[in-house]
Amino acid sequence: MTPLLEVDGVSRSFGSVPALVNASLTVERNSITALIGPNGSGKTTLFNVITGNLRADTGRVRFDGHDVTTARPAALYRRGLSRTYQQARVFSQLTVEENLVVAGGFGLAQLFGRRVNRRDRQRATELIDEFRLGRVADLPAAELSYGQRKLLEFAAVLMSSPTLILLDEPTAGVNPVLIETMEHHIRRLHAAGITFLIVEHDMNVVMRLCDPVVVLDQGREIFTGPPDAVREHPAVLDAYLGA
Binding site for ligand ADP (CB under 6 A): 14, 17, 19, 37, 39-45
Least CB distance from residue 105 to ligand ADP, whole Å? 28
Least CB distance from residue 17 to ligand ADP, whole Å? 5
Pick between residue 40 and residue 225 the one whose CB is nearest to ligand ADP.
40
Which residues partner with 25 through β-bridges?
7
10 Å CB burial of residue 164 (0-12, 13-18, 19+) is buried
Pick between residue 43 and residue 149 the one whose CB is nearest to ligand ADP.
43
Pick between residue 38 and residue 140 the one whose CB is nearest to ligand ADP.
38
Least CB distance from residue 55 to ligand ADP, whole Å? 12
The vertex-202 CA angle with 86 and 30, nearest 5°, equals 75
22 backbone dihedrals φ, ψ, rounded to 5°: 50, 45
Backbone conformation region of residue 176, classed left if phi is above 0, alpha if psi is from -120 to 50, else beta? alpha
Least CB distance from residue 169 to ligand ADP, whole Å? 9
Pick between residue 111 and residue 222 the one whose CB is nearest to ligand ADP.
222
Least CB distance from residue 37 to ligand ADP, whole Å? 5
Pick between residue 11 and residue 30 the one whose CB is nearest to ligand ADP.
11
DSSP result, 1-68: ---SEEEEEEEEEETTEEEEEEEEEEE-TT-EEEEE-STTSSHHHHHHHHTTSS--SEEEEEETTEE-
